[in-house]
C-alpha cells in the first residue's frame, strides 16, 4: 500500500507532521515506517504538548537517584536500598473495557518498576468515575475494581492505598491511574540505555499477538460515539505470565548479563527498541521473523505496533545467551534473539530477508514534534457571599450524616477488600488510613505511600489546585509518621488543542512545581494523559499525585484510630472558615463556585515538620490530616476506626460552629496526645509558631458536640460505611 497524507491522518498524524516525516526521511515512508512514526509521535509517547512545561518541574534532590526519563523514578532510602516508583494512566482503555483496561494498567506499571531491577512491594491506584446516577458508573466501577484486583492479587503484590471519586465530569471518560513501588539495591538498578556494538537483542515474555495495535494512538485521541469500535485496541492482560516474567527477570538480574532492559509498554516493540537505541546513541537491527508470534501471518506492521502485554526487550552481554535462555526456559517463557545493536544509528527491520523499514533513530526521538500550545490563564474566582442564615440553620448532625455518607467521603472498604493488601507479609498500614505503609522486608524501615487528587479545587483554580494536591499527599505521609521524599504525577487533562484545557494543564503543573520546590519534594516520574474528553466535554483537570515517604523505625508509625480515653485532641493549623469549594458548599449549600482554599506553603512545611518532630518525640498517639469535609469529618473517621467517642468544644472564634467544623482550610492535622504531654507539646508548637486549637477529649463512646449534640459511634459507622456497599448491590 502506498502511503499518502490521507493514510497518515488516519494514523492520527497531522498534515504538517506528515510533511515533516517526508522531509526528514527525504522520501515517502512505507506503511510500516508510517506506523512507527505514528506510534512514536503521538501524544502519549512523545509528550509533544507537555514537554515544554514538564521541564519546569523540580526533579532533583539529595535523595533522587533517577528522575523522569527512565521507566520509573528512583529514590535513596539509605542503607544501600532504593525505592523505584511511578504512576501511570490507563484511562481510555478502561472506559472501553473496564476489566482489561484496568488490569493491564496495573500490569504495565509493575513492569515499569521491575524492569529497573526492583521487586514490586506495593500497588496503589487513583480511580475516578462519573456521577453515581449515570447508567454506566456502577458497571465501570465494578469492572475496574475487579481488573485491578485480578491483576495485582495474582501477582502477589499488596494493594495498600488508593483514592476513588465520583464526579459527573467523568461520565464519558473515567480515570484509572495505577502506581507501583518496588524495592531494589542501589547498586543493582537496571536502565534502558543500550551500550556496545553487536550485542544480542533479546525478546522475552509472552508471544506477540494482534491485540492493542495502536493502543497508544487511541489513548491520544478524544472519544466520540463510536468507542465500541475501539475495543480491539485494548490489550488483554495475563497476570500469571507477568508473575513468571517478574521472577525470571529478577533471576537474570541477579547476575551481570544485562546491559539494558526495557519493557514493551505503549507502542510495544517500536518504542522499546527505539528508546534503547536512542539513549545509547546506537542503531538497532531486528529480524522480525524471529519475533515469537501468537498468530500466523502477522505483518511487520502488526508486529511492530502490537501492544501485547508481558513482554520485555533486553540487550545482553555477548556469550550470556545460553545462561539467559535457561532461566526463561525454566519459567516457561518465550526467549528469542531477534536482533543486535549496530553502529548505523538507524532502526532497521528485516522480514523474509527483505529490508522493511530503515529510519534514523534520532529523527524519531529528537526530531519528534514539540508544541507550545496556546493556553488560557485562569482567574481566581471571587469569594462567594455565603448565606449566613442558611448556614446557621443547618443542623450539625444532619450535615455530618450527609457528608460522611457522600460518595466521595464514605468508606471504600467494598473496594479495597477486593484487593489483596496483606500478601508479602509486610503491610503495616492497610487501606483506609492516610497512607499505606509497607516494611522494607527484614529491616526496621518502612515506606509510606499515598495517592491523591483534588479535581474540584483544580477546576476552580488550577494553580492553587496543583499546589494543594501536592500538599495533601505531603500531609498524608506526615500523618503516618513518614518523612516525605518525592512524588510521581499522573496528569489527566482534556484536549491540549483547546486553550482552556491546556491552560488548566499549564497552571496545575506550575502549582505542582511551586509546591514541590518549596517542600523539597521533587518529581521523579510521571505520565501525562490528555484528550480525556468525549466529544467536546472534558474532565475536570485531575492531576493525581503519588507521594512516597520514609519511616526509619516502623515501630514509630502513626495510625489515625483514637487510642485512649481521656487523651486530648488538638487541631494543628489555623481554621479560617474557608467554605467555597468545600464539600459543605457543594453538596449541602449547592454552591459550585468560588475559589478553592488558599495554600500557604510556609504553613504547610512548618506545620508538617513540627508534627514530624512531635512524632519523633513519641508525643503523638494518633493523627489524621484534615481534608474533604473538614475537621469533624476527620475526627469522625478517627472515632470510627478507634471505636472511641469524643467531647468536642469549638474554640472561641469569629466563625460559627458549622463553618469551624466543615471548612476546608489547608495545612491542618488532628492529633491525639496524652494529657500529661500537653505542656511539652504546646511548648514545641509555640516555639515553631504553629497555631493549634485544643478542641476535645476522648471518651468511651459517643461524639458530643458543644454539650448539645450527641452522635453515637454506631451512628457514625452507619453513616460512613454503608453507602458504597448499598450502591453496589
Partner 1 sequence: MKSSVITFPGSNCDRDMDVALKKFGFRNKMVWHNDIELPKSDLVVLPGGFSYGDYLRCGSMASKSKIMQSVINFAKSGGLVMGVCNGFQILVETGLVPGVLLRNKYLEFICKNVFIKIENKDNPYFKNLEKDIFEFHIAHNEGNYFCTKDQLKEIEDNNQVAIYYCNNQGKTEEEFNPNGSIKNIAGIFNKEKNVLGMMPHPERMIDKSLSGEDGSLFFKNLIKNIK
Catalytic annotation, pick one of 44, 421, 461, 578:
44
Interface residues for partner 1 in 450-479 (CB under 8 A)? none
- Measured CA to CA, the distance from residue 707 to residue 660 in angstroms comes to 16
Applying CB under 8 A, the span of 240-248, 300-308, 501-509, 680-688 interacting with partner 1 comes to 240-248
Establish if 156 lies at the interface with partner 1 (CB under 8 A). yes
The burial of 618, by beta-carbon neighbours within 10 Å (0-12 exposed, 13-18 middle, 19 or more buried), is given as exposed
- Measured CA to CA, the distance from residue 654 to residue 202 in angstroms comes to 69
Establish if 114 lies at the interface with partner 1 (CB under 8 A). no
Q: Which of 17, 70, 97, 238 binds partner 1 (CB under 8 A)?
A: 238
| Shortest Å distance, C-beta 146 to partner 1 | 8
| Cβ proximity to partner 1, 319 vs 425, nearer residue | 425
- Residue that the C-alpha cell 502506581 belongs to: 179
| Cβ proximity to partner 1, 249 vs 506, nearer residue | 249
The burial of 51, by beta-carbon neighbours within 10 Å (0-12 exposed, 13-18 middle, 19 or more buried), is given as middle
| Shortest Å distance, C-beta 425 to partner 1 | 4
Cell of residue 542, nine digits: 485531575
Cell of residue 216, nine digits: 497508544
| Cβ proximity to partner 1, 499 vs 556, nearer residue | 556
| Cβ proximity to partner 1, 159 vs 479, nearer residue | 159
3-state secondary structure of 64: strand
Phi, psi of 696 (to 5 degrees): -175, 175
Q: Which of 8, 113, 154, 391 binds partner 1 (CB under 8 A)?
A: 154
Is 128 a known active-site residue? no
| Shortest Å distance, C-beta 154 to partner 1 | 4
3-state secondary structure of 688: coil
β-strand 283-287 against 200-205: which pairing, if any?
A: unpaired
The burial of 729, by beta-carbon neighbours within 10 Å (0-12 exposed, 13-18 middle, 19 or more buried), is given as exposed
Interface residues for partner 1 in 525-554 (CB under 8 A)? 554
Catalytic annotation, pick one of 11, 53, 90, 92:
90
- Residue that the C-alpha cell 526467549 belongs to: 335
DSSP conformation class of 384:
P
Give me the count of residues in the chain: 729
DSSP conformation class of 553:
S
Residue 551 forms beta bridges with which residues?
446
Establish if 555 lies at the interface with partner 1 (CB under 8 A). yes
* Phi-psi category of residue 431: left, alpha or beta, with phi > 0 → left and psi -120 to 50 → alpha: beta
| Nearest one of 264, 215, 324 to 71, comparing CA atoms | 264
Q: How many residues bind partner 1 (CB under 8 A)?
A: 32
Phi, psi of 492 (to 5 degrees): -100, 115
| Nearest one of 313, 280, 254 to 115, comparing CA atoms | 313
Query: Distances in Å between the alpha carbon of 294 and those of 208, 211, 399, 556, 630?
Result: 5, 10, 58, 51, 54
| Nearest one of 563, 708, 589 to 643, comparing CA atoms | 563
Q: Are 325 and 229 in contact (CB under 8 A)?
A: no
Q: Which x/- pattern over 393-432 shows residues binding partner 1 (rule: CB under 8 A)? A: -----------------------xxxxxxxxxxxxx-x--
| Cβ proximity to partner 1, 14 vs 717, nearer residue | 717
Establish if 149 lies at the interface with partner 1 (CB under 8 A). yes
Applying CB under 8 A, the span of 44-52, 101-109, 236-244, 684-692 interacting with partner 1 comes to 236-244
Is 90 a known active-site residue? yes
Establish if 139 lies at the interface with partner 1 (CB under 8 A). no
| Cβ proximity to partner 1, 146 vs 483, nearer residue | 146
| Cβ proximity to partner 1, 30 vs 418, nearer residue | 418
| Cβ proximity to partner 1, 155 vs 515, nearer residue | 155
End-to-end CA distance of the chain: 52
Establish if 310 lies at the interface with partner 1 (CB under 8 A). no
| Cβ proximity to partner 1, 401 vs 556, nearer residue | 556
| Shortest Å distance, C-beta 611 to partner 1 | 22
- Measured CA to CA, the distance from residue 122 to residue 402 in angstroms comes to 33
Establish if 240 lies at the interface with partner 1 (CB under 8 A). yes
| Shortest Å distance, C-beta 213 to partner 1 | 24
Give 131-142 as a DSSP string: -TTSTTHHHHHH
Q: Which of 75, 83, 174, 244 binds partner 1 (CB under 8 A)?
A: 244
Q: Which x/- pattern over 315-354 shows residues binding partner 1 (rule: CB under 8 A)? A: ----------------xx----------------------
Q: Which of 57, 116, 118, 155 binds partner 1 (CB under 8 A)?
A: 155
| Shortest Å distance, C-beta 524 to partner 1 | 28
Task: Write out the residues near partner 1 by the rule CB under 8 A.
Answer: 146, 149-150, 153-156, 238-241, 243-244, 331-332, 416-428, 430, 439, 554-555
Active site residues: 44, 90
Amino acid at each position: 500500500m502506498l502511503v499518502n497524507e490521507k493514510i497518515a491522518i488516519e494514523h492520527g498524524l497531522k498534515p504538517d507532521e506528515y510533511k515533516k516525516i517526508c522531509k526528514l526521511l527525504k522520501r515517502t515512508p512505507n506503511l510500516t515506517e508510517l506506523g512507527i512514526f505514528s506510534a512514536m509521535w503521538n501524544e502519549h509517547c512523545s509528550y509533544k504538548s507537555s514537554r515544554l512545561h514538564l521541564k519546569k518541574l523540580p526533579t532533583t534532590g539529595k535523595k533522587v537517584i533517577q528522575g523522569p526519563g527512565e521507566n520509573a523514578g528512583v529514590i535513596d532510602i539509605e542503607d544501600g536500598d532504593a525505592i523505584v516508583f511511578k504512576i501511570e494512566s490507563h484511562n481510555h482503555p478502561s472506559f472501553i473495557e473496564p476489566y482489561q483496561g484496568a488490569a493491564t494498567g496495573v500490569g504495565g506499571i509493575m513492569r515499569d518498576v521491575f524492569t529497573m531491577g526492583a521487586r514490586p512491594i506495593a500497588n496503589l491506584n487513583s480511580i475516578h468515575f462519573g456521577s453515581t446516577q449515570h447508567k454506566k458508573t456502577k458497571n465501570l466501577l465494578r469492572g475496574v475494581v475487579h481488573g485491578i484486583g485480578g491483576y495485582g492479587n495474582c501477582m502477589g503484590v499488596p494493594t495498600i492505598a488508593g483514592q476513588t471519586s465520583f464526579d459527573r465530569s467523568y461520565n464519558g471518560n473515567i480515570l484509572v491511574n495505577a502506581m507501583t513501588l518496588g524495592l531494589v539495591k542501589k547498586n543493582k538498578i537496571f536502565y534502558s540505555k543500550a551500550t556496545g556494538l553487536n550485542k544480542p537483542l533479546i525478546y522475552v515474555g509472552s508471544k506477540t499477538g494482534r491485540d492493542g495495535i495502536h493502543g497508544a494512538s487511541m489513548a491520544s485521541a478524544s472519544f466520540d460515539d463510536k468507542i465500541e469500535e475501539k475495543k480491539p485496541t485494548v490489550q488483554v492482560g495475563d497476570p500469571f505470565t507477568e508473575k513468571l516474567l517478574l521472577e525470571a527477570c529478577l533471576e537474570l538480574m541477579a547476575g551481570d548479563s544485562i546491559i539494558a532492559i526495557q519493557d514493551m509498554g505503549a507502542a510495544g516493540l517500536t518504542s522499546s527498541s527505539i528508546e534503547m537505541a536512542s539513549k545509547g546513541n546506537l542503531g538497532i537491527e531486528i529480524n522480525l521473523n524471529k519475533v515469537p508470534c501468537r498468530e500466523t501471518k502477522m505483518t511487520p506492521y502488526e508486529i511492530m505496533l502490537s501492544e501485547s502485554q508481558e513482554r520485555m526487550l533486553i540487550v545482553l552481554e555477548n556469550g550470556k545467551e545460553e545462561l539467559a535462555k535457561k532461566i526463561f526456559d525454566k519459567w516457561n517463557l518465550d526467549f528469542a534473539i531477534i536482533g543486535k545493536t549496530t553502529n548505523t544509528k538507524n532502526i532497521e527491520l528485516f522480514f523474509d530477508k527483505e529490508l522493511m523499514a530503515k529510519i534514523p533513530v534520532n529523527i524519531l526521538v529528537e526530531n519528534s514534534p514539540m508544541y507550545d500550545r496556546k493556553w488560557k490563564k485562569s482567574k481566581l474566582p471571587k469569594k462567594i457571599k455565603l448565606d449566613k442564615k442558611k448556614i446557621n440553620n443547618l443542623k450539625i448532625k444532619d450535615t455530618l450524616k450527609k457528608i460522611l455518607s457522600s460518595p466521595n467521603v464514605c468508606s471504600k472498604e467494598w473496594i479495597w477488600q477486593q484487593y489483596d493488601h496483606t500478601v508479602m507479609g509486610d503491610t503495616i498500614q492497610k487501606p483506609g488510613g492516610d497512607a499505606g505503609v509497607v516494611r522494607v522486608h527484614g529491616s526496621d524501615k518502612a515506606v509510606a505511600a499515598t495517592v491523591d487528587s483534588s479535581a474540584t479545587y483544580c477546576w476552580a483554580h488550577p494553580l492553587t489546585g496543583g499546589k494543594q494536591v501536592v500538599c495533601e499527599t505531603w500531609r498524608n505521609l506526615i500523618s503516618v509518621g513518614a518523612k516525605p521524599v518525592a512524588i510521581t504525577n499522573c496528569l489527566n487533562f482534556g484536549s491540549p488543542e483547546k486553550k482552556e484545557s491546556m491552560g488548566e494543564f499549564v497552571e496545575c503543573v506550575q502549582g505542582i512545581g511551586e509546591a514541590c520546590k518549596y517542600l523539597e519534594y521533587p518529581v521523579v516520574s510521571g505520565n501525562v494523559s490528555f484528550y480525556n474528553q468525549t466529544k467536546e466535554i472534558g474532565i475536570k483537570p485531575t492531576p493525581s499525585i503519588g507521594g512516597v515517604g520514609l519511616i526509619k523505625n516502623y515501630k514509630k508509625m502513626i495510625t489515625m484510630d483514637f487510642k485512649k480515653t481521656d487523651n486530648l485532641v488538638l487541631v494543628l493549623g489555623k481554621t479560617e472558615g474557608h467554605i467555597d469549594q468545600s464539600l459543605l458548599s457543594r453538596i449541602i449549600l449547592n454552591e459550585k463556585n468560588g475559589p478553592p482554599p488558599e495554600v500557604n506553603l510556609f504553613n504547610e512545611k512548618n506545620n508538617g515538620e513540627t508534627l514530624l518532630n512531635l512524632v519523633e518525640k513519641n508525643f503523638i498517639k494518633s493523627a489524621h490530616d484534615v481534608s474533604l469535609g473538614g475537621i469533624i469529618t476527620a475526627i469522625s473517621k478517627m472515632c470510627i476506626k478507634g471505636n472511641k467517642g469524643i467531647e468536642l468544644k469549638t474554640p472561641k472564634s469569629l466563625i460559627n460552629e458549622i463553618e469551624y467544623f466543615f471548612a476546608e482550610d489547608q495545612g491542618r492535622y488532628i492529633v491525639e496526645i496524652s494529657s500529661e504531654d500537653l505542656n511539652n507539646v504546646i511548648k514545641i508548637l509555640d516555639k515553631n509558631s504553629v497555631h493549634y486549637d485544643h478542641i476535645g477529649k476522648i471518651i468511651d463512646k459517643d461524639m458530643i458536640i458543644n454539650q448539645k449534640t450527641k452522635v453515637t459511634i454506631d451512628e457514625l459507622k452507619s453513616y460512613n460505611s454503608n453507602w458504597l456497599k448499598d450502591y453496589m448491590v
